[in-house]
Amino acid sequence: MDWSGGSNRDGPTVSKWEQLNLAPELLRSLSKFGVGPPNKIQQRALPFLLRGCDIIAQAPPTQERIAAYVIPAIQTAVANTIGRPPNRGPLAIMISTTVDQATQAQRMIRDLGGPIGIRSALGVGATSASGDLSQELRLLQQNMPHIVCGTPQKLHALFTSPGGLTGSEVRFLVLDEVDQLIARNLHDYVFNIVKLLPSPRSRPLSSASNGSQPVGSFDAGLAPNASSGRRLSAIAPGSNVDMASNPSAIERQTALFSNTVPQDVLNLATAIQLREPVRVLVRRDGNVTSSDSNQGARGLRQFYLYLAFTAGARSESISPSTPGGLGIIGSGRGASNPESAQAREWKLDALVDMFNDVEVSQAIVHVGGMNSLDSVVHKLASRGIEAVPMHGDMNAGAKLAALNKFRSPSNGIMRQPLTKVLVVNDVQLKTPEVAHVPLIINYDLPKAVEEYAHRVAPAIASNYARAGVVINFVTATGGDVEMLRSIECFYKIKCPEVPTTLRDIV
């Protein structure tokens, strides 16, 4: 793999969209919607994506990162719709780990691509009702989208169900938040979708991806997917595409975006056959917004609780799989065994003990997966604590009902009002939605440091004399210690260990 961190001295820097050979209508759309000049991730990823390279990009999860793959997806759709019969299947697929990321991507495609004739669809939510799925598929077939965005489970259902979407026309595949996708044990859905797509690119762009050219040294005027500079290479094992006899065969370009790039992500890239992928790195600069940097000044008290057992309680259970014999995805973390099961039970007991030690009317507990959410809700309810679940797969109505239940006062009659706990997975709570909450617990630490600010926001309130308390659970394994240190450096804070008696701080 080519490491292409790059810097301005490596070559020319893209400072405006006109330096990239984008379709004129796409350039007009970018200008019309007031999209700012390309930022770091766009400067470094777009030149390679527009030349047809496979890439692995490590960058913080932001709107700019989404735009870095939305723009080439729209370009691909624009370039391949001329003279193309309708209802042939989507041209690009974007698989996002979370509903929020998928929704943001589809909205951006709608805003930028809709006015120039690019149709898009969003596939998220439950997949259990076969009748609803059949109706969705009928609507999609009647007005076939050029680009489909969604979560792994829903897209898997849309492409593998009877009468489902065809993947044979897909030229551009995006996987976003790949590290979280693996941590949530969703990679098997991706493998099954990839089986339905065209073979990966079999003619490498040697000048762009073999390490002979730094990230900054590119021909900004080179047309997307230009064939100049390519060389024939061996066809992928198992591929049924004969490039010599069919030079116009559809090839799949793949882009992986991730917050971090551990070995699991590289194993997945190999398993889905990325071809000489370019590595793009955009480091976090450590800067924080004014609202983030004022956390300490506004009285937010943040602590950690160290749990000294040695099992991967942070990750969801992952069954080791070796697609194509190409290394283990997930590396066996969180595998079901007596030790990890006991560790998860101890972690639940620690959470319950914490609530037994404090008297609060409301609290929010953030978890990292649906298994953890179910376990926490069940454990708290069994100890007489009212737990309200809320997760990203809920529709807007269900989320509002959960919020209303959490915000409504407890109706205790013969006893003290119950503590109400909102147990959250994969949802960003807005401050107006949730008033000041005295206690927030990160039962599972976030997988990206930027997510931390969103989680703790309900505990920060300038009109309250006493700000809330944040307690971060840190287990001995699973990367929790490293993530806590990253959070402290990013927000310029220091989290001491939680005191023995919580009543003194809450």
Residues 96, 177 contacting (CB under 8 angstroms): yes
Residues 433 and 458: their CA atoms lie apart, in Å, by: 9
So what's the pLDDT on residue 310? 53
pLDDT of the residue at 324? 43
Percent of the chain with pLDDT over 70: 73
388 beta partners: 422
Residue 464: per-residue pLDDT? 53
Homologous superfamily of 2-223+257-281: P-loop containing nucleotide triphosphate hydrolases (3.40.50.300)
User: Could you tell me which residues come within 8 angstroms of residue 103 by beta carbon, excluding any fewer than 6 positions away?
Assistant: 122, 124, 149
| Mean pLDDT over each residue of the chain, to the nearest integer | 78
Pick the CATH number of 290-504 from 2.30.30.90, 3.40.50.620, 3.20.20.150, 3.40.50.300: 3.40.50.300
- How confident is the model at residue 248, as a pLDDT? 54
- Ramachandran class of 140: left when φ > 0, alpha when ψ lies in -120 to 50, beta otherwise: alpha
Measured CA to CA in angstroms, residue 432 lies from 52, 96, 127, 285, 422 at distances of: 43, 27, 31, 29, 16
Cβ proximity of 428 and 419 under 8 Å: no
Whether 2-223+257-281 shares its CATH topology with 290-504 is answered yes
Q: What is the pLDDT of residues 367-421, one digit of tens each?
A: 998 999 999 999 999 988 999 999 988 998 999 999 999 988 766 554 455 789 9
Per-residue pLDDT of 415-446, as tens digits, reads 455 789 999 999 988 777 787 899 999 999 98
- Distance separating alpha carbons of residues 60 and 484, to the nearest angstrom: 16
Q: What are the boundaries of each domain within the chain?
A: 2-223+257-281, 290-504
Q: Give the pTM.
A: 0.58
